[in-house]
Homo-oligomer: A and B are copies of this chain.
Amino acid sequence: MARRVAVIGSGHTRFGVLPEGPRALLRSAVDRAVGSVDRGVERTALEEGFLGTLGIAGWQLGNVSAVLAEELGRTGLPVSHVENACASAGFALRAGILAIESGRRELVVVAGVEKMTDAPSPRRRYWLGVSGDTEWERLAGLTFAGVYGLLASRHMHELGTPPEALAEVAVKNHANARLNPNAHFQKAVSREEVLASPRVAAPLGLLDCCPVTDGAAAVLLASEETARRYTDRPILVAGVGAASDTLAVQERATLTGLPATRRAAAEAFRDAPIGRDDIDLVEAHDCFTIAELLALEDLGFAAPGEAAQWTLSGATRIGGRLPVNPDGGLKAKGHPIGATGVSQVHEIVLQLRGEAGPRQVAGARHALAHNVGGSGASATVTLFSAGAG
């Protein structure tokens, strides 16, 4: 690789059912990211933007790339809109990293946003549903909850995963979210409540599902050399991986994991000076509780079938062996589609700088962000390390 890339600042809106529209959310996130840089940064120093969002259907606004430049106050700035379903921001982040590695840019902004709660219900269902396979699955009635319900059933059947392990993901992530003022849900749930919640797609109940959420997040990336001008505590990108899979779940050889995650993780670690043992916390793509268990196994931390035990033992709690989603995750922080992949990096910046307050993972130096698109047809894995402090 030509040179290293670092995060020098990040910003995050509140996640939830918000009054703001997508422009205001985006503006708020980029304003906070710009304002977060230790020694300050002029907006005129930003050379390019990358925007993750599904956007086009939900906002009734297309060519949304231009909106990022406008809300940044930098009309004219080149901006690419990257849309890889729920992994839009993960892929936008990767595009920003490549732009700096190419040598063409020194300083770029990567933002993600979604305004989900103002869509009338039929459109909302349509909008999300199209990110899975349409011809053979969606039109046959397979929703996203249905996809993950199938994966959960199969995981239980083949690997003996108990319902309590799924419920424990929700319990943990709701508990973590209460420590995160930006999180959508601020309410603890008990294992019994999760297990008794109305079924959405068996074995998944309502409390196994992430909410429909508005929000935005933004990060500023720089070459390592440039980063040192702006901060003494850059967060370095240590590895990058991305992969795809069949759009249709039925065409995959396995239903007990997401091969795209495995491929992306393999690439990210192949590239990295660190290994899985070095990772202090994981931001995993837990759109449903089962997804966090799949992630733990697909990322190579737990062996197949062991994620349940990890979770039930408390290993993934803050203070556990490998904290997962200390910010509450998609499950409880919320999952504004295009914002999620950048929101994860925001949390990692806080954690690796020791600024995560009551949810701080003690001594965190290395972290992993994992973003999945559609029903597992796209995935990114990005590794981060605290720079010399």
Contact = CB atoms under 8 A, between A and B. Distances in A.
Interface stretch (A67-75, A199-207, A350-358): A67-75
For this complex, into which size category does the number of interface residues on chain A fall? Answer: 35 or more
A243 B80 CA distance: 9
Contacts of A103: 1-2, 101
A322 B373 CA distance: 45
A336 interface: no
Contacts of A389: none
Interface of A: 1-2, 48, 54, 56-57, 59-63, 65-67, 69-70, 75-85, 91, 94-95, 97-99, 101-104, 129-132, 134-135, 240-247, 259-260, 263-264, 267, 373-374, 377-378
Contact of A104 (B1, B76, B79, B91): B1
B62 A259 contact: no
Q: Number of copies of this chain in the oligomer?
A: 2
A63 B379 CA distance: 11
Most chain B beta-carbon contacts within 10 A, residue among A1, A61, A66, A79: A66
B130 A66 contact: no
A63 B259 CA distance: 16
A80 B90 CA distance: 10
A67 to B, nearest CB: 6
Given A54-B62, A62-B85, 19 more contacts: A1-B102, A48-B242, A62-B134, A63-B374, A65-B84, A65-B373, A66-B245, A66-B246, A66-B374, A76-B244, A76-B259, A77-B244, A78-B243, A78-B244, A81-B82, A81-B83, A81-B84, A101-B101, A101-B103
B57 A57 contact: yes
A259 B104 CA distance: 21
